[in-house]
Structure 1
Amino acid sequence: MPEHVPTLDVTYPFDGSWEVRNSPANRVPSHGTRLFGSAHAIDFVPVVDGRSAPFTPRSLLRPEPPESFPGFGHPILAPLAGIVLAADDDAHDHPAYRGLPSVGYALTQGRRAARGWPALAGNHVLIEHDGVVVALCHLMRGSVDVHPGDAVEPGAVVGRCGNSGNSMEPHVHVQAIDGPDARRAGPVALTFEGGVPRNGEIVVGRRNS
């Protein structure tokens, strides 16, 4: 029988156009693992004209600087009202890996997982709302603009899109769990403004005025 997973509706944690990847609307677990309560996690990649960045011969053969991606540094917004539980900001933004470099990078994922959830999440913010904790991950180093104990409202800027942690190109990873410790927490399924977008969809977020 399908497992029962609680659900929480939130707004998109960004403005502008973003492509959906690793959506639980396509499969669960969405990222191929249930570790760290991530079974219903989802990724959003900032795009311009439908692409995260031009794909060049360098993209095929060599790592790329994250600054070459137009969405790098784009504001990441609180998707709900809550209290900031954690705000980590000191992981470096590593190169982006597309084409052949992505194969070698993927083979090292096990080492990052062995170091625990923070090594996978990179720079991140955790926001608690009625016992549910929403994580916004892979933020840009030095961009996190909130602190533990801060109250945030939907649309508040909490950081910027980066490429820290277990990330092949600048994007934001969003997941919700039923407690503050990802090592022990269970997943909470997220809906975004009433639905769950599928892989490849371009969704448009709008910052609250």
Structure 2
Amino acid sequence: MEPVERFFAFDQPIMAPAGGRVVSVHDGEPDHEARRSQLALIPYALSQVSRARRGARGLAGNHVVLDLSDGGPYLVVAHLRCGTVAVRPGELVAAGQPLGRCGNSGNSTQPHVHLQVMDDLDPSVAVGVPIAFRDYRVRRRDGAVELVGTGVPDNGDIVETVAVSG
């Protein structure tokens, strides 16, 4: 196990990737230590069932759900740092507005943000909705920076905003 402070993403600000109305938030789940080695992943894997039994809160940890268009689709931003959720239900959020900070809560082995768009508020019946990013910059694991017009980042890429437009 490793302290989460060793990871670049931990405690970085997380901005809303799109505007919408905050439907729900959850904060208060503890951030746990990171696990990268196969040995450290064994106890984590054994505790996955108990997180799944707790439903979305156990899996998503601290999170924000936005209604993007008055009745869906819904955007989930999950694994936020405990105590950093910066929005409240009913609040209108603009693209680029702070939602919280990157954490390691819920079903997460390392600090990162899980972003998901779905067609229903109930994750047990929701179907994923395809998404693409617009006007962003990617900082690759090797340190290279690439400006991207529209697309989907690769797993492990660090996405940075170039410009925010409504």
Interval of TM-score (by shorter of Structure 1 and Structure 2) = 0.7 to 0.9
Q: Return the offset for 1:67.
A: 2.1
Change (3 A) 1:138 1:80: same
Report the AA paired with residue 151 of structure 2: G
- Per-residue deviation, 1:112: 1.5
Moved over 6 A (4+): none
Which of 9, 20, 45 is the matching residue for 1:106? 45
Give the whole-Å Cα distance in 1 for the aligned partners of 2:99 and 2:35: 26
| Cross-structure match for 2:20 | 82
- Look up the SS of the partner of 2:43 in the other structure: helix
Unaligned runs of 5+ in 1: 1-62
- Stretch of structure 1 that moved more, 184-193 or 173-182: 184-193
Counterpart of 2:112? 171
Q: Which residue type is aligned with residue 137 of structure 1?
A: A
Residue among 194, 197, 202 paired with 2:153: 197
Percent identity, please.
46
1:174 deviates by 0.6
* Matches of 1:141 and 1:81, distance apart in 2: 23
Q: CA deviation at 1:192?
A: 1.4
Displacement of 1:186 after TM fit? Answer: 1.6
* Counterpart check, 1:123 vs 2:62: yes
Query: What residue in structure 1 maps to residue 91 of structure 2?
Result: 150
Change (3 A) 1:202 1:124: closer
1:160 aligns with 2:101: yes
User: Per-residue deviation at 1:204?
Assistant: 3.5
Supply the AA of the counterpart residue of 1:168. T
Per-residue CA distance 1:1-28 (angstroms, 9 max, x = gap): xxxxxxxxxxxxxxxxxxxxxxxxxxxx
Structure 2 distance, partners of 1:195, 1:154, is 17
Between 1:181-190 and 1:171-180, the stretch displaced more is 181-190
List gaps (5 residues or longer) in structure 2.
135-149
Judged with a 3 Å threshold, the aligned counterparts in structure 2 of structure 1 residues 83 and 70 are, in CA distance, closer, same or farther, namely same
Task: Work out the number of aligned pairs and report it.
Answer: 147
The match for 1:24 is none
Q: For residues 172-200 of structure 1, what are the alpha-carbon distances to aligned partners after superposition, in whole Å with 9 as ceiling and x for unaligned?
A: 00101112221222211211123122335
TM-superposed CA distance for 1:207, in Å, is 5.9
SS in 2 for 1:189: coil
Q: What is the DSSP-based 3-state SS (H/G/I as helix, E as strand, rest coil) of the residue aligned with 1:110?
A: helix
Output one character per residue of 1:90-109: Cα deviation in whole Å (capped at 9) or x when no partner.
10001111112023312332
TM-score (norm 1): 0.65
